[in-house]
Amino acid sequence: MKAAPGTIVIVAALLVVFGIELATHTVGSEVSLLKLGALPDNGELRGQYWRLATYSFLHFNGAHLVINVLLLSWVGRIVEKQVKMALAGAIYFCSVLSSAAVILLVHSLHPKVGATVGASGGIFGLLAATLVISYRHDAGSLDQQSRLRTWLWIVLLAGLGIHFYPGSVWLVTWEASSAERSQHVW
């Protein structure tokens, strides 16, 4: 598959930021990730609007990062190949911002202690764009297109299930220790 420079830049940024998380020992610590720019789970930005974008570059652990990088590499390249880098980047960025708005709305209605991080909002936007593209553009044989759509739907439904299943903590929500939660200050 053709190189997708926009996707490569976003993946590189995610890796660099995770390197910073490793260097500063913030991986897995909601309190520390809040200091780096995570979205607060109490829904209060306190004028720190940069968090609307920075949360998407942070990840709770290596597994969280790897899954996001693999999905971004897959769907980002498809979207970028079909609609070019600028529009693919706009889809990703608008999806990150839209996701942040919904997260803040939900957390303002149901505040809790903690942090939200990850590129999933942008990836879901690219995944939706890839599904739309797969229905609107002929990218090869009907059989190939059908397989692509099947996998896209599987990934979308699995991702939604992981994100919204009550009590799900697998890769999406990191449950910090009670000692860390009692020291929560940002």
The architecture CATH gives domain 5-174 = Up-down Bundle (1.20)
In this prediction, residue 150 carries a pLDDT of 73
pLDDT digits (tens, 9 = 90+) for 124-146: 899 889 888 877 765 555 456 67
pLDDT confidence tier of residue 123, bands split at 50, 70 and 90: very high
d(CA 146, CA 126): 18
Residue 186 confidence (pLDDT) above 80:
no
pLDDT digits (tens, 9 = 90+) for 61-82: 998 899 899 999 989 998 998 8
**What is the CB neighbour count within 10 angstroms for residue 2?**
7
What's the DSSP call for residue 16?
Answer: H
Instruction: Give one DSSP letter per residue of 138-184, joined into a string.
Output: --S-HHHHHHHHHHHHHHHHHHHHHHHSTT--SSS-----HHHHHT-
Q: Give the residue extent of every domain in the chain.
A: 5-174
- Mean pLDDT throughout 15-29? 95
In this prediction, residue 147 carries a pLDDT of 72
- 181 vs 137: which has the higher pLDDT: 137
